[in-house]
Every structure is written in C-alpha cells, then in structure tokens.
Amino acid sequence: MPSRRGFLKTAGAWSAGGLLGAGASSSAVSPTRPAADNGWARGSKLGISTYSYWHFDGPPVPIKDVIDEASAIGVGGVDVLHRQMPRETPEYARELRRYAFSQGVDLICLSIHQDFVTPDERQREHHINHTKYALDLAAQMGIPCIRVNSGRWGTIDSFDKLMAEGGNEPPLDGYTREDAFQWCIDAFKKCVPVARDKGVVMALENHWGLTSSADGVLRIVEAVDSPWLQVLADTGNFPDQTYSQLETLASHSILVSAKTYYGGGEWYTLDLDYERIAQIFRDAGFEGYVTLEFEGTADPGPAVRKSLSRISDAFRA
C-alpha cells in the first residue's frame, strides 16, 4: 500500500492549490496538512466514499488517507468501503474510530457486499451471517449505517456484461423474481434484530438486480417494515428515468450517494442535473448526508474536489 506521507505528497500535486479552496494561497499549505479554506463548513452533511479513490484497481488507498483528505477539505463524513479495509480486528476498528474523531470527521457508512439472491439456503445463511458481522463491525467503528444490496442471480458472467444489460439478468432456471424477492425479505428480517441491538441501520441501495428500479427497492423495504432497514439512494444507478426513480425513493432515503464521472465513467457516464436532484430531496424533507462516490477515470484528487464543489453548490442552494 502507498504510505500516508506519499499519498499526501501526491495529493499536494493534484492541483495548483493542492486541497486549498478557490483563491487560497499555496503558501498556506503545510508540508503534510493542507489548509482548509474553501467555504465548506465541517458538518455540512457532505461525505466522501473511500471508493472514490480506489476502484478495485491496484493497491487500496488507505482509509486514514481519505479521512485526512476529508478533514483537510472540510468535509464532514467518510463512507468506508468494507473491501478497502486492510484488516478487521477490533484493534483496527477502534483505532480508525479514534483517528476519524481526532480529525473532526464522522465515519458515516460501512459499504458492504452481500447477496441473498440464491436458492442455496446455506449460501443465503452465509450472507446473512456476513451482514450480521458487518453490523457488529460498524458498531465497533462508531458507524451508524451499513450499505446493503439485494444481490443478483449471477446468470451473466461478468459485471461488464451486466452493465451492458442495464443491471438486469434472467433468473436461474426453475426460479423466478418472486422467489428472489422473498429470499431477500426473509434474509433482511433475520438481520433486523441484530441491527436494532447494535444501533446500526441497514440502508438498501438501488444497486442492480432486484433493486434496479425504485419499485424493487421499496418492495423489499416495505415488506420488511422496520426502521432498521431504510433506503440509500444512488444517483448514478438509475441510468433510465433517473429523476422519476429518485423521486420515488427520496422520502424513504436515509443517505444519498452522489455519483460523478469526470474523465468518463468506468462503465457509463451520466450528465446528472444536481440542482434538480437536490430539489427532489429537499422537497422530500431529506436532511441526511450526501456522500460523493466518484466513478470517473480522471485523477481522483482534483476530480473529487471538483465533484464536491458541484454537489455542495447544488444541495446548499
């Protein structure tokens, strides 16, 4: 893994002003801690996903480095990608929690991967246990929310092909979407008591498969019927009918994941109207975190900075 010092040194070269705000003098930047002078008040309910700096390609960017960047920019929260964690010991979880607090940053979500769409009961039980484990891990880290998915059939053999099909794939032979919805509903119901005991909300994202539509997301959430399963609205995961789908989810959402695609997207690029999106969530009374999930191919340093400015302007208008 790149060292934290090396990461921050690279960060300083991301733009002429490093991580300074517009118009700030570069002389104000310390060798290791760039000054935050960009008008983004800490606690502004903006967050950064650690995934923004690492798209499963090459060594993961250390999570502490993303915390440092959030603190330097003045962004209040960090969404931790589970697969980006180098270890999951209680000691590491507590240290990450302590470090984030020392930098004035909240750890706001633990984004996990689990899959309940399988006829194999043992496999479903494995993923139920994984979700329960993640709820406990989040609690140790002081994180109030985990990102969850429905899962998918696996009948399309690569994620690239799945994206080409708009996130939809045919069921396994002998099974139906009705079966899959019931598996998901039953699985989440088994996780709810642990979520309640740990004080950690599960947030179901519109993330392909059964949740490719807002109706699919709400079908699961409403059937489980628990305050411990809510909605995470991802602005980039509705390539079709984006705004009407987001309108359907807005009043049920506890967290928003805001996608940007500078440099072109990894799989596709959307030209999202964030003023319109912000108005949708304002009208719905949303007051939670809006977390940047940069999914473009540009250098993440300046691209994340540009993205945050774009989203901040829209949501704070």
49: number of CA atoms within 13 Å, CB side? 26
Residue 10 has pLDDT above 50, yes or no: no
Alpha-carbon gap, residue 25 to 27, rounded angstroms:
5
Percent of residues, the chain, with pLDDT higher than 70: 86
Residue 165: partners with Cβ closer than 8 Å, 6 or more residues away = 156
- 279 pLDDT band, cuts 50/70/90, is very high
Closest by CA to 275, choosing from 221, 312, 246, is 312
User: How are beta strands 106-111 and 229-234 bridged, if at all?
Assistant: unpaired
40 in helix, strand or coil?
Answer: coil
More confidently predicted of 11 and 226:
226
Residue 34 has pLDDT above 60, yes or no: no
Lowest mean pLDDT among 31-40, 42-51, 81-90, 226-235: 31-40
Alpha-carbon gap, residue 183 to 185, rounded angstroms:
6
pTM over 0.75: yes
Mean of pLDDT values over 259-279: 94
Angle subtended by helix axes 121-140 and 177-198, to nearest 10: 30
pLDDT tens digits for range 198-237: 999 999 999 888 999 999 999 999 999 999 999 999 999 9
* Phi, psi (degrees; rounded to nearest 5) at 86: -75, -25
Task: Give the torsion sign (CA, 267, 82, 204, 191).
Answer: positive
Lowest mean pLDDT among 45-49, 66-70, 150-154: 150-154
- Residues forming beta bridges with residue 233, ordered by sequence position: 256
List the domains of the chain with CATH numbers: 4-20+28-206+213-264+280-315 (3.20.20.150)
Contact 25, 42 (CB under 8 A): no
User: For the purposes of burial, counting CB atoms within 10 Å of the CB of 11, is it exposed (0-12), middle (13-18) or buried (19 or more)?
Assistant: buried
Please, what is the Cα angle at 112 between 109 and 116, to 5 degrees? 130
Question: Across all residues in the chain, what is the average pLDDT?
Answer: 87
Percent of residues, the chain, with pLDDT higher than 90: 75
* Phi, psi (degrees; rounded to nearest 5) at 29: -85, 125
User: For the purposes of burial, counting CB atoms within 10 Å of the CB of 285, is it exposed (0-12), middle (13-18) or buried (19 or more)?
Assistant: exposed
Residue 31 has pLDDT above 60, yes or no: no
pLDDT tens digits for range 119-146: 999 999 999 999 999 999 999 999 999 9
pLDDT recorded at residue 155: 83
pLDDT recorded at residue 39: 42
